[in-house]
Amino acid sequence: MKAKKSLGQHFLRDKGILKKIANFADIKKEDVVLEVGPGGGSLTELLLEKSKMVIAIEKDKRMVELLKEKFSKEIKEGKLEVVEGDILDLKLGEPEKSPVRKTFAARRRENSKNSAEFYACLSNRSFSLAQDYILVGNIPYYITGALFKKALGSQNPPKSITFVVQKEVAERIMTKNNRPARPNGHSGRESILSISIKAYGKPEYGGIIKAGSFYPKPKVDSAMISIRNINKENFKNISETKFFEILKAGFAHKRKLLIRNLDKFKKKEEIKEIFGKGNISEKTRAENLSVENWIFLAKELQKDYQGSFPL
């Protein structure tokens, strides 16, 4: 079946690489997997072998029909649920308020007491998800940032995420202590994306996937990346909204010193005191700070702040 360029489709057919992705996701038999963009189901097949259940979200109607035919047995057994729609439209934790039709699998598990569950909604269908579900996918490059933001910032985030993304993006996320994650890799500077992800969990690099492993062949190499131990511990004493307003302000003008980018929150002298308290140089720029530095700054800058944080 021909890939749709408009959907950013690049299919993986190398069984060895598909197995590496499934293994890297670290799925246990009791896990529920939410798969993004299953395509023809090559990875889906491996995820089904490793998990309790797979819920596959597919935007391409052609692929939805193919998956339903290919995995009719697994669907009847309640091992697989195929939902047509755009993953970016997925609503987590709210559909009980919406007049949606519950799928068979959702109804069947409604009375299950094995694990805590919540409802998700997409395309007027609702389905239940274990609260510790795993998110996996060979995703289109163009939705990478938006999908990370949606999943990590949701009311019910996954316990881990494993994606195939553009190699350069994976290396940007893995940046640590101002050094490149891999030889000849990224410059080592932090970004809004890398800090945003590290605020929620620990990223792990799974290795490069050459462009030739995909059909059609993309212009760049890809890489596997996982975000483990996802939680919101960093936001116990500060709201996510406030943290990200401060983070965005810090990165707003990359050439400026950070202390100047943050002057909307407090007077310069007060910011200098905060920097001293956190052992942060007044000459530093946003890209030089770790996620721990940012959490510290957010906690300090929100104190007695009289401005208006957007809700």
| 308: in domain | no
Q: Which residues of the chain have pLDDT under 50?
A: 94-114, 177-186, 307-311
Residues 91 and 169 grouped into a single domain: yes
CA distances from 41 to 63, 100, 138 (A): 9, 27, 11
Residues 180 and 265 grouped into a single domain: no
Residues 139 and 213 grouped into a single domain: yes
The domain that holds 24 is classified in CATH as 3.40.50.150
Spell out the alpha helix ranges (H) of 51-97.
61-70, 72-76
| 32: in domain | yes
Residues 100 and 112 grouped into a single domain: yes
| 257: in domain | yes
pLDDT in tens, 125-151: 777 787 899 999 999 999 999 999 999
Q: Is 12 annotated as a binding residue?
A: yes
Q: Is 10 annotated as a binding residue?
A: yes
Q: Is 86 annotated as a binding residue?
A: yes
Residues 139 and 218 grouped into a single domain: yes
Final residue before a domain boundary, out of 231, 265, 284 = 231
| 311: in domain | no
Q: Is 221 annotated as a binding residue?
A: no
Q: Is 138 annotated as a binding residue?
A: yes
Backbone angles phi, psi at 241, to 5 degrees: -60, -45
Q: Number of helices (H) and strands (E), helices first, in the chain? A: 12, 13
Residues 113 and 156 grouped into a single domain: yes
Final residue before a domain boundary, out of 216, 231, 246 = 231
User: What's the confidence (pLDDT) of residue 130?
Assistant: 78
Residues 248 and 102 grouped into a single domain: no
Spell out the alpha helix ranges (H) of 98-239.
104-109, 144-153, 167-174, 192-198
Residues 72 and 216 grouped into a single domain: yes
Residues 62 and 116 grouped into a single domain: yes
Q: Is 37 annotated as a binding residue?
A: yes
Q: Which domain holds residue 241?
A: 235-301
Residues 132 and 204 grouped into a single domain: yes
| 97: in domain | yes
- Going along the chain, which residue ranges are E strands? 11-12, 32-36, 53-58, 80-84, 91-92, 101-102, 117-122, 125-130, 134-138, 160-166, 202-209, 214-215, 222-228
> What's the half-sphere exposure (Cβ side, CA atoms, 13 Å) at 133?
29
Residues 195 and 273 grouped into a single domain: no
List, in order, residues 6 or more apart from 131 with CB less than 8 Å away: 115, 116, 117, 118, 156
CB-CB contact of 266 with 305 (8 Å): yes
| 306: in domain | no
Q: In which region does residue 93 sit, left (phi positive, over 0), alpha (psi from -120 to 50) or beta (all else)?
A: left
The domain that holds 290 is classified in CATH as 1.10.8.100
User: What's the confidence (pLDDT) of residue 176?
Assistant: 67
In this structure, what token pair is assigned to residue 24? Answer: 């890297």
Residues in a beta bridge with 226: 162, 204
Final residue before a domain boundary, out of 181, 208, 231 = 231
Minimal CA–CA distance to 273: which of 288, 262, 287, 285? Answer: 262
Total domains, the chain: 2
| 307: in domain | no
Q: In which region does residue 37 sit, left (phi positive, over 0), alpha (psi from -120 to 50) or beta (all else)?
A: left
Residues 127 and 114 grouped into a single domain: yes
In this structure, what token pair is assigned to residue 57? Answer: 């979200």
53 vs 30: CA distance, rounded Å: 8
User: What's the confidence (pLDDT) of residue 5?
Assistant: 52
pLDDT in tens, 29-53: 999 999 999 999 999 999 999 999 9
Minimal CA–CA distance to 181: which of 139, 173, 1, 110? Answer: 173
User: What's the confidence (pLDDT) of residue 38?
Assistant: 96
